[in-house]
Amino acid sequence: MRYVTYESYIKIMKLLFLYDDLVELQRRYSVLKKKNREAGIACGEASDQGESFAGHDNAPFEAAMLEMNISSRQLGDIELMLSKAEECIPKPNDGTVQFGRLVLIDDVSLNEKTWYLIGSPWTTINGDGLTKDDPMSTSYISPIARALSGHKVNDKVLFQNKRELRILEIC
């Protein structure tokens, strides 16, 4: 069996997004685009200061270039995701773990209960998982989401051949 990396997956497949995640990703793209433009302007202004600035080789130019390189890389990643993005409305709850569902998992091996949102490959949700109102988010393409997908309440799932997970609730 061939292992598919996340990077290769997003190059060939559509990416499903919950509405709020897709809107936030588009907003983040706009913010980064502005930041990148501002860093480009700062590079131009800093280059006019010459090679010597307070004993450095032009620290403002180097800082602006670093900022521009970081935002450019992030923009490229987001552009790729947006080119593959498809808004997906979760199906009605049929009692199985699926995209868009909140799931309470009992990790029997660790004696821990955690709420997960099976969601988008990119999200701003990053809760502690202790309550339904503050779930941890995991992408529908993550290993744990794929292992749980299609299972019902009280099903036990052996995850990565070492952790026993029991599904307690699906919302």
Report the C-alpha dihedral over residues 113, 118, 124, 126, rounded to 10 degrees.
10
At 159, which helix (H) or strand (E)? strand 156-159
Q: What are phi and psi of 26, to 5 degrees?
A: -65, -40
Query: In order of start, what are the domains of the chain with their CATH numbers?
Result: 6-87 (1.10.287.180), 102-170 (3.10.50.30)
Mean pLDDT calculated for residue range 159-165 = 91
Confidence of residue 101 (pLDDT cuts 50, 70, 90): very high
Contacts of 84 (CB under 8 A, 6+ apart): 10, 11, 13, 14, 15
* 3-32 pLDDT tens trace: 556 566 556 789 999 999 999 999 999 999
- Quickly tell me which residue has 């949700």 as its tokens: 125
- The answer to whether 98 touches 149, Cβ cutoff 8 Å, is yes
* 105-133 pLDDT tens trace: 999 988 999 999 999 998 877 888 999 99
CA pair distance 104, 114, nearest whole angstrom: 6
